DNA sequence: CTGAAAGCGCTAACAA
DNA sequence: TTGTTAGCGCTTTCAG
């Protein structure tokens, strides 16, 4: 409704001064600034974002692309909107507007995103999943694009802190008294306390691989008393393999899953596992965006790692005496 | 990147002509228009939305407010993002941009929305649920606000077509051979075939009310053979009341619920009920927004009613012989 | 049918 | 420390 002109006229100052005061520029008399801020507040004035964007060439908007989740995505059970709320919480302090962009399902997502980009609708984009080819194209267009975990070709990434989680799992098992610990993590690298692990088995991420892993495990003699796996699906596979051989998971073998998924919901014993707080993921995404926007290099590397939270389960007790 | 100037210069026409051609104005030579459209397409030109907004005073953006759902809301089990997709599908044809606005949880939703409105961030807003006081304030500010069902104080509403659903339920029961049909719908008004209903019981919406309804029902002599209730929660209450008196729902009394909810998920027999397609709800919301934007009166009335879809269940068979 | 030009509200460079 | 002013890219009136 009211423009910067009205505000300036009412106060008997120039619009330039009002603009400087409102934007927190240092070269404004303290008293003048106070008067201006008070008047703006009183009149509920707020700068026209279209005019500002036109002038500055940037929109102050961060987009969060919502592409309907693929069923087999490892992210499918991370609640999208919870992550969004996490981003929002961290972004609104910086007076950046966060908007969720719903990708039309029938139309091609590529066309949609391209249109948005060519219109310079946002200053930065957050994606979860998404196709690598599209990502690469976006990055080439100059928009900072940040994503989570697996996504390729982005400006920067937020990832799960696999190392820390893995190290925590080892520590827990050792503290429980386990001396023969096996691990089949799918993430590359070794945690600091890797020496506590006696057996390194084939990296596995699916339930089928978990069953194969069980066979591999059962060929060991003596049998380990504890096993660390990538996720609940692998745990389910291990459970099946153990039971086929007459053994009971939890009792005969302690199992810790590094990533809680929907598959673990109805598993008995309930897998001791790790979840990643959507709010924390969101906050990390927001901080990464902020970094990129303030000039941090966009080399596609992992900018921030989010720590997991341990979830008690009945699958990881003390070793049999 | 490229502006309307570049485009015009490259073609040897004025920017005014380019603008008119691109906006589909009638007063442009057909050949000129074709040349301009082709060049725009080739260069991937797309008008700067900030400049356009500044000039036109409108943003071409429709906002969809995402407020974390209240647990007891009757809408809680309608999947928000599915509705959004429905809106998107119907809106992108009109070259309106749909964005989901995530209400910060910690900050007051009121402050957030007010800020957005005062910045004229969108031309229209869609809300689901939301507080009546805020809604009224929005409408007063002149932005068209449309919502679903219960929301009060809006510019226009989309509602479930209770009448049609109710009528369909009656028809189904009569066709199954029921002659003593009772109904306890919570929605006002009577369907066209209301005469087929023998008993009108107390309107009920909760499980507790459902149990009370069961008592009321059981006092009838002879007992009706079929009952139409508002939703699955009421059905659950009815089930409990029937069983207390030694009767079995489905066998001794056919039950149809007018609204499928999460409560019915684990109910036995599974309630025959009605769902409302999120995509259809979304499309209706979009059409309502479009209507408002093209000048339809914003009197807060129900602009569109969405029909329910019957979901087979084991709770509504033929009457006992 | 087309061109010229005003001006939407704002920021920033420049002048005072 | 403040005022003045150009101009961001577009739509739209007004002349021609």
Domain CATH for A124: 3.40.50.2300
CA distances from B212 to A96, B20, B259 (A): 52, 66, 19
- A53 — contact with chain B (CB < 8 Å)? yes
- State the total domains in chain B: 3
Residue A70 has pLDDT above 70, yes or no: no
Residue at B320 is within a domain: no
Whether residue B319 is contained in a domain is answered as no
Q: How far is CA A261 from CA A84, A107, A231, B265, in A?
A: 20, 31, 7, 22
Query: In CATH, what number is assigned to the domain containing residue A13?
Result: 1.10.260.40
B313 part of a folded domain: no
In which domain, by residue range, is B27 found?
4-46
- The residue among A211, A156, A163 whose CA lies nearest residue A187 is A163
Tell me if B98 is assigned to some domain: yes
Tell me the pLDDT band of A69, cut-offs 50, 70 and 90.
Answer: low
Query: Do B149 and B61 share a domain, yes or no?
Result: yes
Residues A166 and A241 in one domain: yes
In angstroms and rounded to an integer, the radius of gyration of the C-alpha atoms of chain A is: 26
d(CA B3, CA A27): 34
Assigned domain for B315 exists: no
Tell me: do B81 and B144 sit in the same domain.
yes
B171 and B115, same structural domain?
no
Structure tokens at A130: 């998404």
Of B44, B80, B106, the CB nearest to A118: B44
> Measuring CA to CA, how many Å separate B57 from each of A19, A50, B65?
20, 9, 21
User: B152 and chain A: CB distance < 8 Å anywhere?
Assistant: no
Mean pLDDT, residues A243-257: 97
User: CB of B189 within 8 A of CB of B163?
Assistant: yes
Instruction: Say what percent of chain A tops pLDDT 70.
Output: 96
Shared domain check, A182 and A227? yes
Is residue B122 one of the residues assigned to a domain?
Answer: yes
Q: From the centroid of its chain, how far is CA B75?
A: 9
What's the confidence (pLDDT) of residue B68? 72
Report whether A191 contacts A203 (CB < 8 A): no
Residues 6+ away with beta carbon under 8 Å from A85: A278, A279, A282, B68, B102, B104, B105
Q: Which residues contact A200 (CB under 8 A, 6 or more apart)?
A: A182, A183, A184
The percentage of chain A sitting over the pLDDT mark of 90, rounded to a whole number, equals: 74
Residue in A with minimal Cα distance to B83: A102
Shortest distance between the Cα of B69 and any Cα of chain A, in A, equals 11
C11 nearest neighbour residue (CA to C1'): A55
Q: Are residues A127 and A182 in the same domain?
A: no
- A35 has pLDDT over 70: yes
Q: Average pLDDT by consecutive 10-residue portion of chain B (321 residues)?
A: 91 96 94 95 94 96 86 66 92 90 83 89 90 80 89 88 96 96 91 95 96 97 96 97 96 96 93 95 96 90 94 92 74
What distance in Å separates the CA atoms of residue A126 and residue A98, rounded to the nearest whole number?
10
pLDDT reported for residue B78? 65
A77: pLDDT strictly greater than 70: no
Q: Give yes or no for a contact between A65 and A130, defined as CB atoms under 8 angstroms apart.
A: yes
Which pLDDT band, with edges at 50, 70 and 90, does A106 fall under? Answer: confident
pLDDT in tens, A136-156: 888 888 899 999 887 778 999
Q: Please report whether residue A312 resides in a domain.
A: no
User: How distant is the Cα of A59 from the closest Cα of chain B, in angstroms?
Assistant: 8
Does residue B69 share a domain with residue B213? no
Q: What is the 3 state secondary structure string of B116-166? A: HHHCCCCCEEEECCCCHHHHHHHHHCCCCEEEECCCCCCCEEEEECHHHHH
Whether B156 and B66 map to the same domain: the answer is: yes
Q: How far is A289 from A88, CA to CA, in rounded Å?
A: 12
Q: What pLDDT sits at residue A141?
A: 87
The Cα–Cα gap between A48 and A2 comes to 9
Decide: B224 and B253 in contact? Cβ < 8 Å. Answer: yes
Nearest residue to nucleotide D8 when comparing alpha carbons to its C1'? A55
Residues A86, A279 contacting (CB under 8 angstroms): yes
Q: Does B60 touch chain A (CB under 8 A)?
A: no
Task: Give the tokens for residue B178.
Answer: 């029921």
Claim to verify: residue B72 and residue B149 sit in the same structural domain: yes
- Residue among B177, B153, B160 nearest B226 (CA): B177
List, in order, residues 6 or more apart from A293 with CB less than 8 Å away. A96, A123, A124, A144
The reported pLDDT for the residue numbered B129 is 74
Task: Please give the pLDDT value at position B231.
Answer: 95
Characterize the bridge pairing of strands A156-160 and A302-306: parallel
- Give B195's contacts (C-beta < 8 A, 6+ positions apart): none
* Residue (of A24, A232, A88) closest to B65 by Cα position: A88
Helix (H) or strand (E) holding A34: helix A30-43
Q: Do A129 and A212 sit in the same domain of this protein? A: no
* Residues contacting B158, CB < 8 A, separation 6+: B146, B147, B148, B149, B281, B284, B285, B288, B302, B303, B304, B305, B306
- Which tens digits make up the pLDDT trace of A281-303? 999 999 999 999 998 988 888 98
Cβ(B238)–Cβ(B212) under 8 Å? no
Is omega for the bond preceding A269 within 30 degrees of 0, making it cis? yes
> What pLDDT score was predicted for residue B138?
85
Q: Is the pLDDT of residue A130 over 90?
A: no
Asked if residue A226 is part of any domain, the answer here is: yes
pLDDT of residue B69: 66
pTM value?
0.90
Q: Is A59 on the interface with B (CB under 8 A)?
A: yes
Q: What is the pLDDT of residue B10?
A: 94
Helix axis angle for B80-91 and A80-91, nearest 10°, is 80
In this structure, the answer to whether residues A98 and A242 fall within a common structural domain is no
Q: Tell me which residue in B47, B66, B97 faces A81 most closely, judged by beta carbons.
A: B66
State the count of interchain CB pairs (< 8 A) between A and B: 93
Strand C nucleotides, any atom under 7 Å to a protein CB: 1-5, 7-13
Long-range contacts of B308-311 (CB under 8 A, 24+ apart): B308/B160, B308/B161, B308/B164, B308/B165, B308/B168, B308/B258, B308/B259, B308/B274, B308/B275, B308/B276, B309/B274, B309/B275, B309/B276, B309/B277, B310/B168, B310/B172, B310/B272, B310/B273, B310/B274, B311/B260, B311/B272, B311/B273, B311/B274, B311/B275
Residue B169's pLDDT is what? 98
Compute the distance between CA of residue B86 and CA of residue B161 in angstroms, rounded to an integer. 18
Q: Which residues, including other chains, have CB under 8 Å from residue A291's CB and lie 6 or more apart?
A: A156, A303
The confidence score (pLDDT) of residue B172 equals 97
Alpha-carbon gap, residue A21 to B208, rounded angstroms: 59
Q: Considering only CA atoms, which residue is closest to the C1' of nucleotide C2?
A: B17
Q: Is the pLDDT of residue A74 over 70?
A: no
CA A54 to C1' D8, in angstroms, rounded, equals 5
User: B145 and B238 share a domain?
Assistant: no
């Amino acid at each position: 409704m009211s423009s910067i002109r009205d505000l300036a006229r009412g106060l008997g100052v120039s619009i330039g001064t009002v603009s400087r005061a409102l934007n927190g520029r240092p070269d404004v008399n303290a008293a003048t600034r106070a008067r201006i801020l008070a008047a703006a507040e009183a009149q509920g004035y707020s700068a026209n974002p279209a005019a500002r964007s036109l002038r500055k060439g940037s929109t102050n908007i961060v987009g969060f692309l919502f592409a309907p989740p693929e069923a087999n995505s490892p992210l499918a059970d991370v609640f999208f909107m919870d992550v969004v709320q996490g981003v929002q919480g961290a972004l609104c302090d910086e007076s950046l507007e966060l908007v969720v962009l719903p990708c039309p399902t029938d139309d091609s997502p590529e066309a949609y995103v391209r249109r948005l980009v060519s219109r310079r609708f946002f200053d930065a984009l957050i994606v979860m999943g998404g196709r690598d080819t599209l990502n690469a194209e976006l990055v080439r267009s100059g928009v900072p694009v940040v994503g989570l975990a697996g996504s390729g070709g982005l400006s920067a990434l937020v990832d799960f802190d696999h190392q820390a989680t893995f190290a925590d799992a080892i520590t827990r098992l050792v503290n429980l008294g386990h001396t023969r610990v096996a691990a089949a993590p799918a993430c590359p690298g070794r945690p600091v306390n890797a020496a506590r692990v006696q057996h390194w088995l084939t990296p596995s991420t699916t339930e089928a691989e978990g069953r194969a892993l069980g066979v591999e495990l059962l060929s060991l003699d003596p049998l380990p008393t504890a096993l660390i796996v990538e996720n609940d699906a692998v745990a389910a596979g291990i459970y099946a393999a153990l039971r086929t051989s007459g053994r009971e998971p939890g009792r005969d073998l302690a199992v810790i899953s590094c990533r809680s998924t929907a598959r673990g919901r109805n598993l008995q014993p309930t897998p001791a596992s790790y979840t990643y707080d959507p709010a924390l993921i969101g906050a990390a995404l927001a901080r990464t965006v902020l970094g990129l926007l303030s000039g941090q290099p966009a080399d596609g590397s992992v900018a921030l790692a989010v720590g997991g939270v341990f979830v008690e389960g009945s699958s990881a007790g003390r070793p049999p005496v």
